[in-house]
Structure 1
Amino acid sequence: MGLYHSVRAVAGATGDGPIDWNAVAEAAKESTEPGDLTLSDAETEGFTTDVRDARDRVREVGELDFDLPATVEIQNRHHWIDANVATFERVMAPIEQQAEYIPGVARVVNTGSMAFALSFLGNNVLGQYDPLLLADNDDHALYFVRPNIQRVAGQLGVEGDRFRRWIAFHEVTHAAEFGAAPWLSEHMEETMEETIEKLSSGELDRDSLGELDTTMTAVEGYAELLMDRAFDDEYDDLRRKVDERRKGRGPVAQLVRRFLGLGMKRQQYERGKAFFDEVADMRGVAAAGRVWDSPETLPTDDEIETPRMWVERVLD
């Protein structure tokens, strides 16, 4: 386990495509400690209870008909990396299929960049709802990266069980969105495929990128609305401490976050939350959930900035 072995895995990248995914997985894991996954019976029951309670509360508050995904896993960091290597490989397959001859140096650079990104994320992701986009089946998954949850709770000085419950509620809100809107995964897949197809031919489809960003803003914003209304404890202190931890990171970590687009994700949270807070204040949480009726009821970018426009178009 170490940097030398990680570099060696990247340097040995092979194959015909722009990225050697086996080398990505090996390099990312070689540079990432897996973390402890020894759970007591009480901790296992705690995860189960938190997820079940989150499902029940979100159903009640959002008036949504959904269930938990087929797969709910408590993972170490290596498990998370493996799952997400598979996701990235699926998503990027159309581009790879269009690629012609790839010089070995380019393959090594691409492989190293992806391994670095997944190693960074694997050390920082707390939980993930994975809609398994472009997979051959309709199963979704819910992951909790237990070593990261424990480490961050200790760094923030917050009680571990409470922090775990907060993470569980947040991820289950995403399960609610995709469960209540069976069309959402397909809609996102089609938009991604359009974007990737244009990229593979050297074009930048700003319309598809804009549509994907607007959809993700709705996804993140609605999750924040449900968290505010469904979580059974005050969590302003948790949010504040997490934000302070993010801002307090060193320049290298900040650069990596920008490289990975994590600052944009935070912007999606904030824009989406402001939209849904205003809609819920005007018409209630259940009315805000009408956004998941169909692709046509998703807010436009202009409507996110002016929620009353969406209310008048969809609810009136």
Structure 2
Amino acid sequence: MSTAASHITYGGAVKPIAHASSTAALQPAVDWPAAARIAARLAPPGPVAPRQRLHDLVGGLREAAGTAVGHVHEVTRMAPDGVPSPVVVVDRASWARANTQSMATMVDGIEDVVPHPLAPAVQAAGAAEVGAVLALLSGRVLGQFDPYVPGGSPGRLLLVAPNILQAETSMGVPARDFRLWVCLHEQTHAWQFAAAPWLADHLRDRTRGLVTELTRTSAELARARIDRKIAVVGKAVLDALRGRGDTLVDGFLTPAQKDTLADITAVMALLEGHADVMMDAVGPSVVPSVRRIRARFERRRDGEGRPAFDVVLRRLLGMDAKLAQYRDGATFVRAVERKVGREGLNAVWAEPGNLPDAREISDPRAWVRRVHG
């Protein structure tokens, strides 16, 4: 945030961590504490505002997060066990640090597949790459439900105060409405993981398996001739910029890895689309300016007014793919609800086998036939 905001105590500390691996004898592929320091140092400053406004912002976000819980319960018709997840209002640097913690937790154990100990320079390079990407993303994320808190703690809801302030100001929408609207989306994510307590482990296992395979593939690429390296990297970059791959990493995937990634992406599309539909479903009686917020927010998502460089950056960081997840998932959710209602849709949270795969996310009728007969 700004210098004036740097003295504000947010809703909970995101503390530095040591490497999360349970295998003490092995070195991580990334120096995670270093990645956290780099990300925090490179995170851009947020908007400048009077100190009182910043205090009101933090208090307003905490209030909105609490208010959202009852509305999410009513609109989703889901009844998860447990208490609401803790809410942590953070600045950009703290969000970036928190995500290094989550990433370390998600990929814990992949060191087993590394054929030889990694040199400190390799770990440092990984830290620099992760830290730089998180720093770039830290100015774009409004909120996030994080189910991968180190040490087995329950998930936490992160609200990035400077980004919410910047968004509501630039779009010219009522602050109180917008903050509640954002919290409705993020609390829906918290509800999803609470209603499906197996979901966090399912996603982590699939992601860890993919990262493990990518680690093996990367090791093979590292031993390849220089012309082979240049060809693979060059194709990946060109595909990303020309729109033939979802992200930069897509160019490095084998066909089997692409299938795995497609199924993971389908689940993420479900989560994001479901949250997007639910945050609007509360209607104007709860968020009076919801239609105006949605219209202006969609234009913001599409990059209205952003420079050409930002369009390229969005492609390389996979942000366009993320945007497609919201829209594909929302289309799936609405189509399923038209067929079997909201209670029928909620069957997706019953067990892993009920999650849509990559084909079904674009063919909701196929999911309905498989799950509901």
**In structure 2, which of residues 323, 332, 348 is the aligned counterpart of residue 266 of structure 1?**
323
Q: SS state of the match for residue 129, structure 1?
A: strand
The CA RMSD over aligned residues, in Å, is 2.8
1:93 positional shift: 3.9
Deviation larger for 210-219 or 100-109: 100-109
Aligned to 1:110: 126
Q: Given that residues 85 and 190 in structure 2 are in contact (C-alpha distance below 8 angstroms), is that contact kept between their aligned partners in structure 1?
A: no
Q: Could you say if the C-alpha distance between residues 91 and 39 of structure 1 is closer, same or farther in structure 2, counting changes exceeding 3 Å?
A: farther
Residues in 2 aligned to 1:20 and 1:38: alpha-carbon distance in whole angstroms:
38
Deviation larger for 31-40 or 305-314: 31-40
1:287 positional shift: 1.6
Point out where structure 2 has 5 or more consecutive residues left out of the alignment.
1-25, 218-252
Letter in 2 for 1:177: Q
Q: SS state of the match for residue 128, structure 1?
A: strand
Q: SS state of the match for residue 158, structure 1?
A: coil
Aligned to 1:80: 95
- Write out aligned runs for 1:219-238 (5 A): 219-231=271-283, 232-233=286-287, 234-238=289-293
1:118 positional shift: 1.0
Aligned to 1:5: none
**In structure 2, which of residues 314, 334, 346 is the aligned counterpart of residue 257 of structure 1?**
314
Percent identical across equivalent pairs? 29
1:113 positional shift: 2.1
> Could you report, residue by residue, the CA deviation over 1:109-137 in whole angstroms, capped at 9, with x for unpaired residues?
4333222111111122111111117x441
Deviation larger for 258-267 or 40-49: 40-49
1:303 aligns with 2:317: no
- Write out aligned runs for 1:185-264 (5 A): 185-202=200-217, 204=254, 205-231=257-283, 232-233=286-287, 234-246=289-301, 247=303, 248-264=305-321
Q: Given that residues 68 and 172 in structure 1 are in contact (C-alpha distance below 8 angstroms), is that contact kept between their aligned partners in structure 2?
A: no
- Write out aligned runs for 1:77-156 (5 A): 77-99=92-114, 100-102=116-118, 106-132=122-148, 135-156=150-171
Aligned to 2:182: 167
Q: SS state of the match for residue 145, structure 2?
A: strand
Q: SS state of the match for residue 152, structure 2?
A: coil
Q: Given that residues 217 and 269 in structure 1 are in contact (C-alpha distance below 8 angstroms), is that contact kept between their aligned partners in structure 2?
A: yes
1:103 positional shift: 5.6
Letter in 2 for 1:144: L
Residues in 1 aligned to 2:119 and 2:294: alpha-carbon distance in whole angstroms:
45
Aligned to 1:21: 32
1:285 aligns with 2:296: no
Q: Could you say if the C-alpha distance between residues 197 and 110 of structure 1 is closer, same or farther in structure 2, counting changes exceeding 3 Å?
A: closer
Aligned length: 302
Letter in 1 for 2:74: E
Residues in 2 aligned to 1:91 and 1:186: alpha-carbon distance in whole angstroms:
9
1:258 positional shift: 1.8
Q: Could you say if the C-alpha distance between residues 310 and 92 of structure 1 is closer, same or farther in structure 2, counting changes exceeding 3 Å?
A: closer
Q: Given that residues 57 and 165 in structure 2 are in contact (C-alpha distance below 8 angstroms), is that contact kept between their aligned partners in structure 1?
A: no
Residues in 1 aligned to 2:148 and 2:129: alpha-carbon distance in whole angstroms:
22
Letter in 2 for 1:235: V
Letter in 2 for 1:223: A
1:217 positional shift: 1.5
> Could you report, residue by residue, the CA deviation over 1:144-163 in whole angstroms, capped at 9, with x for unpaired residues?
11111112211112222221
Q: Given that residues 94 and 196 in structure 1 are in contact (C-alpha distance below 8 angstroms), is that contact kept between their aligned partners in structure 2?
A: no
Residues in 2 aligned to 1:185 and 1:249: alpha-carbon distance in whole angstroms:
34
1:237 positional shift: 2.5
